[in-house]
Chains A and B, each alone.
Chain A
Amino acid sequence: MALTQVSSNKCAGGFQKVFEHDSTELKCKMKFAIYLPPKAETDKCPVLYWLSGLTCTEQNFITKAGSQLAAAEHGIIIVAPDTSPRGCNIEGEDESWDFGTGAGFYVNATQDPWKTNYRMYSYVTEELPKLINANFSTDPDRMSISGHSMGGHGALICALKNPGKYKVTSCRVCVRPHLRPVRLGGGSPSAYDATVLAASYSGPQLDILIDQGRDDQFLSASQLLPDNLIAVCSEKKIPVVFRLQPGYDHSYFFIYSFINDHIKHHAKYLNA
């Protein structure tokens, strides 16, 4: 598959680039951002996949999160895809901010008219890694996944549904996907519900770090339900450290504040 470089900026000693390609899963042109640390010039580096939240594109994370310094320090490639297929001209895709465009939920839709294009789960777990490994200096055995909000939940489900694929996972905020995936038709709610997936997980040991802003408006609105997840993980002995950060909200300011901890969390396994 051909990659077209859209932009390249030197950053923290490495390069922050954006590429475009024709996606076979999503049947449209997709962009993704990739940060190449200085180490990538000489060695194969592990890859951290970052899944952004609702309404984001590949730009938000690379311009607001401040991840490049830590990535350079630990020698990790960070790939940040877009959050949904674009320009597919599906009816209703732009109607609401939390559904359709910019809200792919990282699931494979099973209902029409979404199921042709909205296959973010396969894109993220299958197509994108193959593309990255083929075109960049990567170590294909060292992969991990992280995300924020919708992306945080997406990271969890990718890891839980693919035991052994991701060395470690972390997220800021895991949105409990209430109704959306049902509308996308991602099968039964449990198929892409992190809490449910955790309950039935069996596979190599995970190590999950979750940060949640205490002043996150979604938390107070009960749209995020970390307690359920924690209870299940405790039950199933899935190692999770869940941190409630006082004063922090849902924004990229919150992501920025803890990105170093998360990258260090990933580096522990990716560089072991």
Chain B
Amino acid sequence: MAHFLKPWSILSARSSRTEHADQCFQSQNCIRSPECFVQENFGRQEQHLEQHYNDVLQTLSQRYDDRETGLQEEKKSKLESLYKQLVACGQALDTSKELIETAQEVYRCQDERLFLKVAQLGLLRDFFFLEFAKEDIDLSLSTSLEFSTPLADLSDVKTMMDSINVVPAPSAPVINPQLPNSATQTSLHVCWSLFSDDTVEYYELYYRPVLEDTPADSTCVKVKETHCTVTDLLHNAQYELWVTATNTTGISPASEKALYMTVPSPPAIKQRECSSCPEAALIRWESGNTNPVDSYIVELSETGTVGAESNITESIVAVPTCQCLIQLQAGRQYLISVRAVNIGGPSDRSDAITISTTGTFFYLLEDTAHPCLSMSEDGFTIFYGDEELCVAILGDLIPVRGRHYWEVEVDDETEFRVGVAYEDTERDGYLGANGSSWCMRHIRTPSRHKYEFLHNGWSPDLRITVHPVRIGVALDYDRGTLSFFNANLEQHLHTFHCRFHNYVHPCFSLDNPGALTVHNGIQAPDYTFI
């Protein structure tokens, strides 16, 4: 049989060359020198060639096997039929021989009478004819001695050989994972590369948003480069992308699908839910995105005394929820902003909020207000116009232990209660009437002012000769004191001594028609915390 060049030798030759390329690659410490490129491209070319020729060789080899088997079978059947013929001839010869011997024997027989009998019968003659005429001994060969040689159908091999010279359709491209900081709120920058040294006319990039239930329709973009920026996308959304390569021969299979994510929208700081004290600030914000984000970054910078913005001085990363308690320095002013973060990267900065660490600052908690209480636009004055007792509201004091100071402005006639209470204090009760609230109470009679300092429904008995119109309230968690002052006179009125086991909220209530205004963000005067 012909010797067909087996693929094994090509393989071994190729593998040694590839090994060399690998070594070269590694020895250069992944610095891709031109030599390595050549080696790699050479390797690819060789791989392609080997693949093609292997296919051709395998097909030829298969044909050879088939053909040979055919020939063998034909030979076998011819031999068999000839052999049969031979056997039949042999048998005929044997039969004839027997007859002739019998006839000779009869001829040699001396007994004339027997011979005559046989002759009379004329049997001999019949017997011979019968016997000999029994078979037509066909001495022609049953089969032809020639072998048929049908035309081998090698048209497909020919096609394959031809296609070696034709550019193959490209193989599937490789789409890259998302690079950090390559996405915006509405766009994604996608890159891919070719696995082999294919000729490519253009690429087609497909993308669609990843939705919860039914898959969305995909959009297709045709590009010539191996990268593309896709725009007009939703923010904080996941997209599925894949790419195909096309040349004159055809389209490659699709690449693997990659998942990319657009960057979130910036959050929005909730001004009225932020509070501060000399050592810290509590910032709260809205996510700004309907779908969850991974985390938030809080950035702060200290503004100079002139008010000029300096660079970001601190970033707090990996904030898991929409609020952050930040430690600060007393007596400064800060600009604070927030970003939302997902796999795609960080969002733009939110609008900044200004925080001043002079004194303690808080807003009143509108949702704690008695329905009859109304509030000014700026949120610091409460009004009441009815006769019910004790319509109250709480303040959103920052949950930081230490010292806090605020002032309450009142008038001569308004009956009020001001102090602190635990968050879970009875909302239906009177401030100071229970063990979870402490307050100073002003009662107006026609003849004079009366004052009570209430806790658990009990008050000391005291008289104050000058009605305070600006009350200073000083809370000291560590010392366990709550003090009240006539801020205008710097006069101490009363101090509660109590160990606060939890954080407290400033509380304000009106017992008759009137108003009071809260002032905070004031540095505590020295006398308040002697």
Contacts and interface: CB of A to CB of B under 8 A. Distances in A.
Interface of A: 74, 205, 207, 209, 214, 230, 233-234, 237-246, 264-265, 267-268, 271-272
B136 interface: no
Given A234-B448, A264-B530, A268-B490, A239 B462 contact: no
B466 A237 contact: yes
Question: Considering the complex of A and B, which 3 residue pairs feature the smallest CB-CB distances, nearest first?
Answer: A244-B461, A233-B465, A240-B465
Given A207-B491, A239-B491, A268-B530, A244 B462 contact: yes
Contacts of B448: 234
A242 B463 contact: yes
B492 interface: yes
B493 interface: yes
Contacts of B434: none
Nearest to A207: B491
A239 B466 contact: yes
Interface of B: 448, 460-466, 486, 489-494, 526-527, 530
B462 A241 contact: yes
Contact of B465 (A214, A238, A244, A271): A238
Contacts of B526: 272
Nearest to B464: A241
A77 to B, nearest CB: 18
B491 A241 contact: yes
Contacts of A271: 530
A237 B465 contact: yes
Contact of A239 (B461, B465, B494): B465
B367 to A, nearest CB: 37
A240 B530 contact: no
Nearest to B494: A241
26 contacts: A207-B491, A209-B492, A230-B465, A234-B448, A237-B465, A238-B465, A238-B466, A239-B465, A240-B463, A240-B464, A240-B465, A241-B462, A241-B463, A241-B464, A241-B465, A242-B464, A243-B460, A243-B461, A243-B462, A264-B530, A265-B492, A268-B492, A268-B527, A268-B530, A271-B530, A272-B527
A209 B464 CA distance: 10
What is the predominant secondary structure among interface residues of chain A facing chain B? mixed
A202 B162 CA distance: 122
A229 to B, nearest CB: 9
Nearest to B468: A239
Given A244-B461, A265-B492, A267-B530, 9 more contacts: A238-B465, A240-B463, A240-B465, A241-B464, A241-B465, A242-B464, A243-B462, A271-B530, A272-B526
Among A234, A239, A264, chain B packs the most CB atoms within 10 A around the CB of: A239
Contacts of B527: 268, 272
Contacts of A246: 461
Contacts of A239: 465-466, 486, 489, 491
Nearest to B448: A234
Contacts of B492: 209, 241, 265, 268
Contacts of B466: 234, 237-240
Nearest to A226: B463
A264 B492 CA distance: 10
Contacts of B460: 243-245
Contacts of B462: 241-244
B461 A234 contact: no
A207 B489 CA distance: 8
Contacts of B494: 241
A168 to B, nearest CB: 10
B98 to A, nearest CB: 156
Nearest to B463: A242
A137 B527 CA distance: 24
Nearest to A265: B492
A74 B530 CA distance: 9
Contacts of B465: 230, 233-234, 237-242
Nearest to B461: A244
Contacts of B464: 240-242
B172 to A, nearest CB: 83
Contacts of B491: 207, 239, 241
A242 B463 CA distance: 5
Nearest to A227: B463
A241 B448 CA distance: 15
A81 B348 CA distance: 74
Nearest to B462: A243
A98 B164 CA distance: 134
A243 B492 CA distance: 12
Contact of B461 (A214, A237, A267, A268): A214
A241 B491 CA distance: 9
Contacts of B493: 241
